[in-house]
Amino acid sequence: MDLTTVWFALIAVLWIGYFTLEGFDFGVGMLLPVLSRDDVERRVMINTIGPVWDGNEVWVLVAGGATFAAFPEWYATLFSGFYLPLLLILAALIVRNLSIEYRGKREEPGWRARWDLAFIVGSLVPALLWGVAFANIVHGVPIDADKNFTGSLLTLLNPYGLLGGVTTLLLFATHGAMFIALKTDGPIRHRARALAVRLGVAAAVVAVVFLVWTQLSRGDLSSAVSFVLAALCLVAGIAAAAWGREGWAFVGTMGTIALAVAGLFLALFPDVMPSTTDAAFSLTTSNASSTPYTLKVMTWVAVVFTPIVLLYESWSYWVFRKRISTEHIPSSALEAADTTAGATGR
């Protein structure tokens, strides 16, 4: 196995890590107005991802950096051709991250409501557009002999691409509901578990259509096996949620996303961006890669630092593994001040 194949596989692993972890973050954001009944419950939901959301985003940064270093031609064509969708994703992520940091800075309901809306939109937009982007990468886009994307935004908004977006949207929403059921206690937990079952059924129907379409257009035996296993994981996750086994339900949706993304990369290989203009213009792991020396240096860097990152992230999840509920949310600063004043007669 040459280093171009190794780095294609490593980039696939990075995207799998990003979608399985950041996927439930997006789901929590999208479900904020659905599962919460008041500000305290909204704080509970946001706090479930509070310790980990920024670490989850590291995966996409590393994936982008690895693509730039290992496959610069792929990076250049992808980021120039998909510039507007990727810009919208970036803007949504920035707004979403600001909402997490700033909603608690003031006590006014209007202030928090506006940041909650930013959190919802900032979660929904990437959940949809990442699916559109990856569906188009796998399906192929118009690329000329100079490796330039020759389409437009409307080129990307084709039926297959939009179906990919709806698939990731529903899968991430289901994944988020499973995570909330796993990480909370009380009424939110029960509402999340019931919603996870309903969302899971809808996600299963849409995902099967998308994966079958992918398999018929580009798949091989390896992608077919991955897609079948993904479907089985989703069914198992839905069943586990219905039986009240939140841990196994979350593992099921995590396995679904991981195997589905792996299947997309297996269907894509050895291409990295197929050309619908002419197959000879497609970007592959061979004609889009860096020099062998660059890949060799990158490999040694990855060998040293990847275990460190994995150990740190695993440790952070272990530290914040316990459930939270409305009982763990402290009173606001203003409420505390009023209570103190009343107790002292001032």
Location of structure tokens 């040694």: 300
pLDDT per residue as tens digits for the range 272-304? 999 999 999 999 999 999 999 999 999 998 888
pLDDT per residue as tens digits for the range 2-49? 899 999 999 999 999 999 999 999 999 999 999 999 889 999 999 999
Q: Which pLDDT score is estimated for 332?
A: 57
Does 341 map to a domain?
no
Q: Please, which residues have CB within 8 angstroms of residue 241's CB and are 6 or more apart in sequence?
A: 178, 181, 193, 196, 197, 200, 249
What is the pTM assigned to this prediction? 0.91
Does 343 map to a domain?
no
Domain range spanning residue 130?
Answer: 3-326
Which range scores top for mean pLDDT: 87-91, 154-158, 276-280? 87-91
CA 182/CA 167 separation, integer angstroms: 22
The three-point CA angle 217-222-225 to 5° equals: 95
Does 331 map to a domain?
no
Q: How many domains does the structure of the chain reveal?
A: 1
Bridge partner residues of 283 (DSSP): 273
Bridge partner residues of 284 (DSSP): 271
Does 339 map to a domain?
no
Does 35 map to a domain?
yes
Does 269 map to a domain?
yes
Q: Using the Cα atoms of residue 57, residue 61, residue 132 and residue 239 in order, give the sign of their dihedral.
A: negative
CA 20/CA 175 separation, integer angstroms: 8
- Alpha helices by DSSP H, listed for the chain, are 3-30, 32-35, 39-49, 53-70, 72-81, 83-102, 109-139, 153-156, 159-183, 187-218, 221-242, 246-268, 292-319, 333-344
Confidence of residue 337 (pLDDT cuts 50, 70, 90): very low
Amino acid letter, residue 172: F
pLDDT per residue as tens digits for the range 199-230? 999 999 999 999 999 999 998 999 999 999 99
Does 166 map to a domain?
yes
Report, as an integer, the average pLDDT of 76-104: 93
Write the CA distances from 158 to 126, 135, 209, 281, 319, integer angstroms. 18, 10, 15, 21, 44
Nearest to 12 by CA among 258, 312, 305, 310: 258
Does 240 map to a domain?
yes
Q: Which pLDDT score is estimated for 331?
A: 67
